[in-house]
Amino acid sequence: MKKLIIWPALAFSLVFCTFQKEQDQPFFNGKDFSGWTIRGEQVKNDYRIENGEIVGISKPQSQNTFLCSNKNYDDFILELEVKVDTGMNSGIQFRSESRPDYKNGRVHGYQAEIDPSARAWSGGLYDEARRGWLADLKNNPAGQRAFKKFDWNKYRIEAVGKTVKISVNGVQTTDYTDTLETRGFIALQVHGTNVQRPMEVRWRNLRLQELARK
């Protein structure tokens, strides 16, 4: 009779622990850049923290700059909100790398596009500094309409094995299966620009759920 009481309790405990491990967690502490590194070329853009938000600020004559997680990730679900100046391009890097033997450490890898321009490819999949566009939004009019200018936009990036799915404000913009299966850091991009006026991109409510490989 004791076993009938103990084993269900143990089973519940194991299920509870597994559930806890798979829950999403805050991906940014809202206070400082502990666990993050700024990477880029010669002229880097700036990052600051304001009201718990990450703010990326463009500089004239700058190159692409990335606020990169120090930890690498395999399979995960990342959710965050972004608001960007309408004259600015940006992106969310994931499964990305920076190696001395590749273009002198240039950041490269997958990027979920942030594109407030008339092209409206926000949520497309770009391979930064490597293969270029993998999945644009030319044939996805619903996806092109998902991004809201002058407002916050919720991104969801799901990377499992060789498959990448991206949605913007609940609308799926990318469902892509690649030939590569990589791991790497997550990063927030401030795109290089020649525009003289300062421009900003903001991120908030970053949450990450790591997924166990099956």
Contact 126, 91 (CB under 8 A): yes
27-211 topology per CATH: Jelly Rolls (2.60.120)
Residue whose tokens read 């990318």: 174
**What are the sequence ranges of the domains in the chain?**
27-211
pLDDT of residue 97: 96
* Rounded-to-integer distance, Cα 163 and Cα 135, Å: 12
pLDDT of residue 63: 85
Q: Which residues contact 18 (CB under 8 A, 6 or more apart)?
A: none
pLDDT of residue 163: 97
Counting as low any pLDDT under 70, the low residues of the chain are 1-22, 43, 196, 214
pLDDT tens digits, residue range 17-39? 443 346 788 999 999 999 999 99
Contact 113, 133 (CB under 8 A): no
pLDDT of residue 4: 41
Tokens of 84: 């960007």
Considering the entire predicted model, what is its pTM?
0.87
Burial class (CB in 10 A: 0-12, 13-18, 19+), 134: middle
H or E element that contains 3: helix 2-22
Contact 48, 200 (CB under 8 A): no
Tokens of 36: 């993050």
* Rounded-to-integer distance, Cα 47 and Cα 188, Å: 10
pLDDT of residue 20: 39
Contact 166, 157 (CB under 8 A): yes
Beta strand pairing call for 185-190 and 108-114 = unpaired
Residue 13: CB atoms within 10 Å: 10
